[in-house]
Structure 1
Amino acid sequence: MRVRDFMSHPAVAIAPDRPIAEAAQLMLEHRVSGLPVVDATGRLVGIVSEHDLLRRRSNGATRRPHWLQLMTEGQALAQEPERFHALTVGDVMTTEVVAVSDDTSLEEAGRLIEVHGIKRLPVIRDGRVIGVLSRADLLRALARAIGKAEAAKRHDTPMTDERLIELERQYWLQRSRGTK
């Protein structure tokens, strides 16, 4: 199975010069927790997440969680509308982005998500963002694989059992070698 079979596309993306309020609105409208950030030609320049929008930076350093400050300090909440229109996506986005091609295997994509502790991978083709693969997309792929395995088992029990045993053996073999 390949990324192209399960990615969300087209990607909902945003430009780095847009206000963070617009990014928040796009995330809410599309029910996503992050957006690829692209230049005018559609090339990936970063990613912005809910975490990036809620994080407060001061002189380049991150202080305590911004959402906590908003809940405990009335003065901080009063300044929030101005902040959401003054800061741009480029001010808060993450620039070191892990991305995959649409031809990447789901196994590799899942490994990257796990190793890097991230929730989504922008999907690139010819240097441009064409979609996003999220953890939810991986769950969909897993559900489909389980459904196919159950259907196959009803038709060919011994062969399916052998395949599942071999897949499990390979998985544990990889984990014992330190690869995920």
Structure 2
Amino acid sequence: MQIKNIMTAPAISIEPTETITTALRLMLSHKISGLPVVTPNGQLVGVLTEGDLMRRSELQTEKKPSWIQSLLRSSGKHASEYVHTHGRRVSEIMSNEPVTISPEASLHEAVDMMTRHHVRRLPVVRNERLVGVVSRADMLRALLPVISDEPRTVADETIKESILREYRTQDRWAGGNFISVDVKNGIVELNGVVTDERLRVAARVVAENVPGVVSVIDNMTFVEPFSSTEIPPPLFP
């Protein structure tokens, strides 16, 4: 799936000459954590986020440098920080180098970028023009229809083969035939021996994710590999 299939467009944005009062009202009324900053012709020049507005003189939340930091910083650096905590225009406090993404990029690329740069939303840009925004909320909306737990009727043999196929795919932890699978009327029964409780949980999750599964019965036994102590399956998964 590509970003253009899930992004919010047109994006709610703001011009750099606007006041932060206008920006705050936009963010609060639309319940968003940031605004792309664009010129009148649609060129992206920055991003204003909640983080940019947290250190404010009005809230007395300015960052207090240590005496040695104050000594080592140039007068220009001190002036820049003052503007950031006291400035009233979007252009004065916005981030000037926003992390952007192409509308043709994949969701995998977007998640990697959000994680790496610690951001919640990415401006979507084509030819330096803002065409939309993709946020974590957009990701959740894309996830919902594909993870839906609405019941589906699937043949028992098809369910079993799907579970076993996924076990074979996950050979880093599910190698071999360590678990046997039986399916009747959509109810999956797992039997076998595991030497790590985490394998039990993963094996059950595989079954729960297969379309058509009504419920999963965990009959797997955990055997402590050093003492050979057997621990029966839990009463409640």
Q: Which has the higher contact order (CA 8 A, sep 6+)?
A: 1
Which consecutive residues of structure 2, in runs of 5 or more, have no partner in the other structure?
Answer: 65-83, 173-237
C-alpha RMSD of matched pairs (Å): 3.1
Distance 1:49 1:157, change over 3 A: same
SS state at 1:100 partner: coil
Q: Distance in 2 between matches of 1:104 and 1:152?
A: 32
Letter in 1 for 2:52: D
Larger Rg: 2
Q: CA deviation at 1:124?
A: 1.1
How many residues of Structure 1 are paired with residues of Structure 2 in the alignment?
146
1:157 aligned residue (156, 159, 169)? 159
| TM-score, reference length from structure 1 | 0.69
Deviation of 1:6 after TM superposition, in Å, equals: 1.2
> Which residue of structure 1 lines up, in the alignment, with residue 5 of structure 2?
5
Structure with the largest fraction of helix: 1
Partner of 2:98: 97
Could you report, residue by residue, the CA deviation over 1:64-83 in whole angstroms, capped at 9, with x for unpaired residues?
A: 5xxxxxxxxxxxxxxxxxx9
SS in 1 for 2:104: coil
Offset from partner CA, 1:54-99 (integer Å, 9 cap, x none):
2238xxxx615xxxxxxxxxxxxxxxxxx99961001110112111
TM-score between the two structures when normalised by the length of structure 2: 0.53
Question: Matches of 1:87 and 1:25 in 2, distance apart?
Answer: 14
C-alpha deviation, 1:141, in angstroms: 1.9
Note if contact 1:13-1:36 (Cα within 8 Å) is conserved in structure 2. yes
Whether the 8 Å CA contact 1:6–1:141 is kept in 2: the answer is: yes
Distance in structure 1 (CA, Å) of the matches to 2:55 and 2:106: 33
Give the C-alpha shift of residue 33 in structure 1: 1.0
Tell me the equivalent position of 1:120. Answer: 121
Q: Contact 1:122 / 1:131 at 8 angstroms: preserved in 2?
A: yes
Separation in 2, partners of 1:93, 1:41: 18
Q: CA deviation at 1:111?
A: 0.7
Identity, % of aligned positions: 38
| Residue type at the aligned position of 2:23 | A
Matches within 5 A, 1:58-137: 63-64=63-64, 87-137=88-138
Unaligned runs of 5+ in 1: 65-82, 171-180
What is the 5 A alignment of 1:45-56?
45-56=45-56
